[in-house]
Structure 1
Amino acid sequence: MPWPHDVHIALPPSYEQGDRSYPVLWVTDASLSFPLVVGLMNWLHTVQEIAELIVIGVGAPDESDPAEFGARRTHDFYPMPRWVNAGPGGARMEALAGEAPTSGGGADAMLSFLVDELRPQLATELRFDDDHGLVGFSGGGHFVGYALLSRPAAFGRYLASSPALSGCEDLLFTLEADYAKTHDDLAAKVFLGAGEAELTDPYVAAADILGSMTRMSQLLRLRNYPSLELTSRLYPRQTHGSALPYALNEGLRTLYPVTAAGSG
């Protein structure tokens, strides 16, 4: 990776009280999303609505320069150097973003780092169950989709909030079509959520978040994969920023109910 990445770890309340293993939730954008995810999980576990998990947040350190932080996120989350989506929305994004559409290309390295390097290293120190989930927001939602369609066995549960799924000129839709040609099942639990008011921001609207999420949900449902559990939600009046806690709240309760992994 071209710069250091922070790794944050939160252990469940009962971790020190026994020797059982726990499912692991991997959270991208650690400096942005990790505190929100952990705080929400603490509450949902207290009211007995979700199972106990180990939570690991990974991401580029938060930078004082927002442009640099944004460039690092883009590099980590998109597998192609030119990360904008195809069609008129992409042209609009390119006009608004200037040089930024050419700063992607690190998603393969990021995914390999999470699955092939960091996971086995931490598994020697922590009691991991063989049950891994992945969370991402916005560009991180594209990364979640990329992980699902390029290495579907790497995680079993996927939560993408406001995912920019048509980035990299519809690459994920090409991957989805290629996967469907050679597979008749997709064993995964997937939650997709976005805000209805994301259409009101010109840049976010150009990112095709609502359109691409709806299109991917429709395609996956029409495949009739017997092992796929898919949930998609649009939250009324919620924007690109405000939809995230809604998606996390419902997504965690959907993917990790108290009966999951023998809990509850």
Structure 2
Amino acid sequence: MASPAIPLYAPAHNHEGEGKMSEESSGRPFAGRTALITGSGQNIGRAIALAFARGGANVVINGHRNKEAIDRVAAEAEALGVRALPILADVADPGAVQAMVDKAAETFGGVDIAVSNVSVRLHTKFLDISIEEWQRIINSNLSASFYLARAVLPLMQARNWGRIIHISGKDGFAVIPNRAHNVTCKAGVFALSKAIAVEFGQFGITANTIAPGVIDTTRDWTQYPHFANGYGERIEEIPVRRIGHVDDIADACVYLVNAGFVTGQLLHVNGGDGLF
């Protein structure tokens, strides 16, 4: 006899500490959870935040400079029937990250899901990278993930449940020239995920990494000379013959939150553009 179908967002099992969802909330499996997504005022971060909101999670919307943007995303989330907290914070500042997490815990009682999504991508030849530029990119693209994990892990331990997701990139695994600092960071967040997964798995906490391929986002095209003609030529190189959508990354995040037996892993979401 065929197994019963499992709803898209419903966990297959309700292990101790992994499922505080009642039958009434089965259509919103993240009800009672809180998700914090850095860099969620636009693009991939916004899509991730709204995906969790649709699943019933309260969301913390983070940006660095644009208060109007995070307020708009917070309003979109609240229109889905959840609570949203927009916070301006520079994730490269460990004190600001801790203050943001403290505010989230004060407002919602904790942080169950943390997605580290902020990234600054500069196109600079290796010998032209200054010490200041190197430190800036390392701090925003790699250290920021450590700052966030360090702040949320005690809260997750207290609940014996947690999900940490790092958004990496293809350039951490198929190296793009003239991006040594970003390449280092994108590979580094995967190593960080594995370290967290091994140390904190006993507390019901998973840590994973998503490496997006070519995703249609608003970006500074001056830093993407390899897209001199836009996305056009690249489409023919991607097996699924399309550019990725921000919702493709959001769907992967939803999967990893539900997948309690998946940890320390790297998920390439790239339409087959690079089979690793």
TM-score w.r.t. the length of structure 1 is: 0.45
Query: Which structure's residues are more often helix, by fraction?
Result: 1
Query: Which structure's residues are more often strand, by fraction?
Result: 1
Query: More relative contact order in 1 or in 2 (CA 8 Å, sep 6+)?
Result: 1
TM-score w.r.t. the length of structure 2 is: 0.43
